[in-house]
């Protein structure tokens, strides 16, 4: 079973994502901001991170940069999952090294499709 | 005695008449396990025409079997489920096969037919891969012809406008930003990709095959609900459009085995079918 770390400051979004991911046979862990997510990755790196953009303490973008610089050998795939749906944001995420991008609102099919594209589903 | 119930929305008779109209126009049969969808699918049509029940609809259709109402009914009932890079491995094998065929006949421009292309994701997926191959290896861009029986699907395909949900199904984000523009909340295919695909209206059960031979013909998830006689005749049409040694690509649940001698499983490309050397049967122009 693959592990997905859901990083979002909204409890509701985390719950929705968890529900979908569990039906896709993922073990789900949660983090409320980028800092918590980084700690979680340093302790026990998941297969994939589903990452919100705007969060308190540490944004998704800052998390991604920190992750790239961290010494984690088996880096997780990173899938942004955000309401920032503009082209400039998407391009910036790709440039920073994101593997995929989910524009909110999303449904099960979208999530499944993107996880298949990055090779974890 | 049972009290009379409320007026039913659909009688079995009405569903049969509507099913017959769909089959006569497109060859598609409504499978028993999908009959329940008829009512849901037709609700917008009823609303647009100020009708309340399927029986009323059938009454109106009796007088105008070829008018815009009948067209709207047929369009609403066609299953147009599709996505970018549907069965991604298959789409990649098409490109691999195209490279092999091109290597055998250098200098000739390959031709690919996407039959039953729905709203366009299948031919655009191919066009993206071939464009990438053109850039990375100088591969000559094949001609891509995409057809469907449904005019409204073709109009959407030509416009190349996709909702946020459609654009996120199957399409990797890098390709999305390379080939699409974000306009008013929709994703619109860029002109340089759009011009790689020619869309045309074509009914597989009635029209002769497009002129000229194709090297690869995709007809995926279209034949599933044809009656077997119709399917056989469509295989003949597809065969008449395929160059000798050319390939036919079907959907995951479809096969030629036991259905036609016009194609046989390809030894080189798993899951694909090859047009046999024998004389192709003449394409039948009309099924009924
Ligand atoms: C389920 S979609 C498949 C789309 C695409 N080939 C794919 O696999 O994703 C089937 C398409 O076949 C079209 N179709 C159905 N009957 C047809 C016919 N007789 N001639 C041409 N197209 C037909 C429908 O309008 C629909 O767009």
The whole-number average pLDDT for the span B230-241 is: 96
Which pLDDT belongs to residue B235?
97
Tell me which of B81, B168, B174, B177 to substitute to probe the interface with A (most A C-beta atoms closer than 10 Å). Answer: B168
Residue B177: which of A91, A107, A113 has the nearest Cβ?
A: A91
The whole-number average pLDDT for the span B278-282 is: 48
Instruction: For residue range B60-98, list pLDDT tens digits in order.
Output: 999 888 899 999 999 999 999 999 999 999 999 999 999
pLDDT-above-90 percentage for chain B: 85
Residues with Cβ < 8 Å from B66, sequence gap 6 or more? none
pLDDT-above-70 percentage for chain B: 92
Q: Does the pLDDT at position A97 exceed 60? A: yes
Asked if the Cβ–Cβ distance from A103 to B174 is below 8 Å, we say no
Q: Does the pLDDT at position B286 exceed 60? A: no
Centre of ligand 1 to C-alpha A81, Å, is 32
Which pLDDT belongs to residue B54?
93
Is-contact B250 B220, C-beta < 8 A?
A: yes
Instruction: For residue range B256-271, list pLDDT tens digits in order.
Output: 999 999 999 999 999 9
Q: Give the distance from residue A87's alpha carbon to the nearest chain B alpha carbon, in angstroms.
A: 7
Centre of ligand 1 to C-alpha B117, Å, is 6
The whole-number average pLDDT for the span B138-159 is: 97
The residue nearest atom 2 of ligand 1, judged by CA position, is B80
Q: Does the pLDDT at position B282 exceed 90? A: no
C-alpha distance from residue B224 to each of B16, B111, B182, B233, B252 (Å): 19, 25, 35, 14, 10
- B191 near A CB under 8 A: no
- B165 near A CB under 8 A: yes
Instruction: For residue range A22-75, list pLDDT tens digits in order.
Output: 999 999 999 999 999 999 999 999 999 999 999 999 999 999 999 999 988 889
Residues, chain A? 121
- B163 near A CB under 8 A: no
| Domains of chain A in sequence order | 2-116 (3.40.50.2300)
Residue of chain B whose Cα is closest to the Cα of A94: B174
Q: What are the sequence ranges of the domains in chain B?
A: 12-77, 88-275
Neighbours of A27 (CB within 10 A): 13
Domain over B88-275 is classified CATH 3.60.20.10: no
Atom of ligand 1 nearest to the CA of B148: 22
Which pLDDT belongs to residue B204?
98
- pLDDT confidence tier of residue B9, bands split at 50, 70 and 90: low
The whole-number average pLDDT for the span B107-121 is: 97
Which pLDDT belongs to residue B5?
43
Q: How far apart are CA B219 and CA B95, in angstroms?
A: 16
- pLDDT confidence tier of residue B6, bands split at 50, 70 and 90: very low
Is-contact B130 B196, C-beta < 8 A?
A: yes
CATH of B12-77, one of 1.10.1740.110, 3.30.2020.10, 1.10.1470.10, 1.10.155.10: 1.10.155.10
- pLDDT confidence tier of residue B181, bands split at 50, 70 and 90: very high
Residue B169: which of A85, A90, A113 has the nearest Cβ?
A: A113
Q: Does the pLDDT at position B2 exceed 50? A: no
Asked if the Cβ–Cβ distance from B165 to A85 is below 8 Å, we say no
Q: Give the distance from residue B100's alpha carbon to the nearest chain A alpha carbon, in angstroms.
A: 26
Centre of ligand 1 to C-alpha A52, Å, is 37
The interface predicted TM-score (ipTM) is 0.95
Q: Give the distance from residue B165's alpha carbon to the nearest chain A alpha carbon, in angstroms.
A: 7
Residue of chain B whose Cα is closest to the Cα of A88: B177
The residue nearest atom 19 of ligand 1, judged by CA position, is B26
Structure token digits, residue B283: 């394409």
The whole-number average pLDDT for the span B11-37 is: 89
Residues with CB under 6 A from ligand 1: B 26-28, 78-82, 86, 116-118, 122, 148-150, 153, 202-205, 220-222, 251
Q: What is the SS3 string spanning A79-120?
A: EEEECCCCHHHHHHHHHCCCCEEEECCCCHHHHHHHHHHCCC
Asked if the Cβ–Cβ distance from A100 to B172 is below 8 Å, we say yes
Asked if the Cβ–Cβ distance from A94 to B174 is below 8 Å, we say yes
Q: How far apart are CA B65 and CA B61, in angstroms?
A: 5
């Amino acid at each position: 079973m693959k592990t997905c770390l859901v990083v979002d400051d909204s409890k509701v979004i985390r719950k929705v994502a968890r529900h979908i991911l569990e039906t896709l046979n993922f073990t789900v862990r949660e983090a409320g901001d980028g800092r918590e997510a980084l700690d979680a990755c340093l302790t026990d790196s998941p297969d994939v991170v589903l990452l919100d953009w705007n969060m308190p303490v540490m944004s998704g973008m800052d998390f991604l940069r920190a992750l790239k610089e961290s010494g984690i050998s088996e880096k997780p795939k990173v899938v942004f999952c955000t309401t920032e749906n503009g082209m400039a944001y998407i391009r910036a995420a790709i440039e920073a090294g994101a593997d995929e991008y989910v524009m909110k609102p999303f449904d099960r099919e979208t999530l499944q499709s993107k996880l298949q594209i990055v090779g974890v589903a | 005695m049972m009290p009379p119930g409320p007026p039913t929305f659909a009688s079995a008779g009405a569903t049969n008449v509507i099913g017959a109209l769909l089959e006569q126009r497109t060859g598609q049969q409504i499978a028993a396990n999908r009959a329940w969808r008829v009512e849901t699918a037709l609700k917008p049509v009823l609303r647009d025409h100020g009708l309340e029940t399927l029986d009323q609809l059938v009454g109106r259709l009796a007088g105008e079997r070829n008018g815009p109402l009948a067209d709207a009914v047929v369009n609403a009932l066609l299953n147009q489920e599709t996505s970018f890079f549907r069965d991604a491995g298959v789409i990649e094998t098409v490109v691999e096969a195209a490279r092999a065929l091109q290597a055998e006949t250098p200098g000739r421009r390959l031709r690919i037919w996407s039959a039953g292309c729905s709203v366009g994701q299948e031919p655009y997926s191919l066009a993206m891969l071939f464009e990438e191959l053109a850039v990375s290896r100088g591969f000559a861009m094949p001609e891509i012809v995409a057809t469907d029986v449904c005019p409204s699907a073709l109009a959407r395909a030509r416009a190349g406008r996709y909702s946020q949900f459609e654009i996120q199904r199957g399409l990797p984000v890098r390709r999305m930003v390379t080939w699409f523009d974000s306009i008013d909340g929709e994703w619109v295919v860029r002109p340089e990709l759009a011009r790689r695909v020619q869309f045309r209206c074509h009914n597989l059960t009635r029209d002769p095959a497009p002129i000229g031979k194709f090297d690869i013909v995709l007809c995926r998830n279209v034949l599933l609900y044809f009656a077997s006689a119709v399917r056989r005749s469509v295989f003949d049409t597809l065969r008449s459009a395929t160059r000798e040694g050319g390939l036919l690509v079907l959907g995951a649940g479809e096969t030629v085995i036991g259905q036609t001698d016009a194609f046989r499983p390809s030894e080189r490309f798993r899951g694909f079918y090859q047009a046999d050397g024998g004389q192709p049967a003449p394409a039948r122009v009309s099924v009924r």
